Structure 1
Amino acid sequence: MARICELTGTGPIKGSHIWRSGKAKKKGGIGTHVTAITKRRFMPNLQRVKAVINGEVRYIRVTASAIKKGLVVKAPKRTWKKPEAKKA
């Protein structure tokens, strides 16, 4: 399943993890140096939410930021109650 927001289209972003060694100059060292750089991916904070889409209620995967912005119309709470069993 793709890690993409169904509303905003936000997906994973490329980045890198940088390793540094040495002591900072202001702490009395000779400065830090980059020793290795490896690629990594920043994943969006996806949440599974019950929302109203085109008049019907269904589950969608959206980012937390889309929920905070109010882009998602959440489904109303269910008021349906289980029917009571008939006594004989």
Structure 2
Amino acid sequence: MSRQCCVLGRRPARGHTIRRKGKPKKEGGIGTHVTAQTPRIFFSNLRQKRLFVPELGRWVSLRLSARGLKTLSKNGVYATLRKAGLLQ
């Protein structure tokens, strides 16, 4: 199973962590400098949820991001799943 939100389609994003070295100017130093950029992956906050859809009368298992779960609670389960193309 992919690391993807089934409602919003959020996937892992690539980026960098920045290493800084030195003493900040406001602490009496000459300033901090970037010494390295290490590649990393930012993962979505995914949750495995089992939701009841009253219009269908059954339970549905979904892999959602935290933002996708907020979208479901705001717009309703059935309407959001129809818009995402998960229901016919």
Quickly name the TM-score band, shorter chain normalised: 0.7 to 0.9
Cα RMSD of the aligned pairs, angstroms, is 2.2
Question: TM-score w.r.t. structure 1 length?
Answer: 0.72
Aligned position for 2:50: 50
5+ residue gaps, structure 2: 79-88
Question: TM-score w.r.t. structure 2 length?
Answer: 0.72
1:7-43 per-position Cα deviation (integer Å, ceiling 9, x unaligned): 1101111111000000011110011111110111110
Relative to structure 1, the CA distance from residue 18 to residue 72 in structure 2 (aligned partners, 3 Å threshold; closer, same or farther) is: farther
> Which is helix-richer, 1 or 2?
2
Give 1 or 2 for the bigger CA radius of gyration. Answer: 1
Q: Which runs of 4+ in 1 moved over 4 A?
A: none
* Count of residues in correspondence between the two structures: 74
5+ residue gaps, structure 1: 75-88
* Percentage of matched positions with identical amino acids: 42
Report deviation, 1:65: 1.1
